Amino acid sequence: MMLPDRVRVVEVGPRDGFQNLPPIDTEIKYQIISGLIEAGIKEMEITSFVSPKAIPQMADAKELAVRVVNEFGDRPNLNLMALVPNLKGAQAALEAGITTATYVISASEQHSLKNVRKTTAESLADLKQLLREFPQLKVRLDIATAFGCPFLGSIPEADVLKLASVAAQAGVVEIILCDTIGTGNPVQVHSLAQKAMRIGIPMGLHLHDTRGLGLANTLAGLQAGVAMFETSVAALGGCPFAPGASGNTATEDLLNLLASLGLDTGVSMERYLQAVDQVIKDVLPTAGGHMAKVPRNPCC
């Protein structure tokens, strides 16, 4: 089995997970983020600089980001990121000390119109403008509905690859293919990932576990050579604009898979599960991936 030498685990729970729940106290958010960092997470989306009218769960974005950056920003190899939907969000992120941002474009026209009320082409034009006006910001691109759309069904590989290629030429630093509603299967994931990697910039996967294929698709991605995965603490997350999109693949389950394959992530499972426990206790009692429910036996 051919696998990458090193795998990047990108934690998106504090953004993708928290935005789908009732507003969470800022102090609790900070404690969970701190726990994830202390467990060894090196890359994390900590918030989203969106309009509080649209997503009130992220109304504390600036306060939270400033606090986290001030406390942990000088740690070596720690990359604190945020989602930005537009130029205003990009400016706010920079002012809060965030220098790496995620921008989202849907490969599906219908989903794009539901999500941001713009066509895919219009969103791409906005991305290019953002890259021109904020050259100091490292911009990653999440391609939503890369493996299926709740309104259109399957999405042609050619559409996804064209969008990824244009974005790479425009200057994004990396691209993440997102299975927004969890309809992807291992053959599909392997095929698209393998072709996308030929574009020539770092390529990652964001896989939902809606139909129980999150880890199977992860393994397919690993075998295709993908070495970056976005996952969420305690399997939190979804998409408010994509009916049927339940939680992401749990980060704790990804960590267990990688460890079983002999791939070192630098993350302590014991300490990570403590952060999961806090999410279950203070945020959502029904949350948690498979590893959250495994008896904590130190021998195995």
Give buried/exposed letters for 35-72 (b at 16+ CB in 10 A, else e): bbbebebbbbbbbbbbeeeebebbebbbebbebbbeeb
**Whole-number pLDDT of residue 123:** 92
Is 269 inside a domain boundary?
Answer: yes
Backbone angles phi, psi at 270, to 5 degrees: -60, -45
**Whole-number pLDDT of residue 245:** 47
Decide which of 286 and 96 is more confident.
96
- Total number of domains in the chain: 1
pLDDT digits (tens, 9 = 90+) for 44-93: 999 999 999 989 999 999 999 999 999 999 999 999 999 999 999 999 99
**Whole-number pLDDT of residue 20:** 87
Give, in order, the Cα–Cα distances in Å from 6 to each of 43, 75, 276: 14, 20, 24
Is 300 inside a domain boundary?
Answer: no
Catalytic machinery residues = 239
Is 1 inside a domain boundary?
Answer: no
Is 98 inside a domain boundary?
Answer: yes
Is 298 inside a domain boundary?
Answer: no
pLDDT digits (tens, 9 = 90+) for 179-219: 988 899 999 999 999 999 999 999 999 999 988 999 999 99
Report the CATH number at residue 249.
Answer: 3.20.20.70
**Whole-number pLDDT of residue 231:** 97
Is 254 inside a domain boundary?
Answer: yes
**Whole-number pLDDT of residue 112:** 74
pLDDT digits (tens, 9 = 90+) for 31-40: 999 999 999 9
Is 299 inside a domain boundary?
Answer: no
Residue 223: give the domain boundaries: 8-293
Is 3 inside a domain boundary?
Answer: no
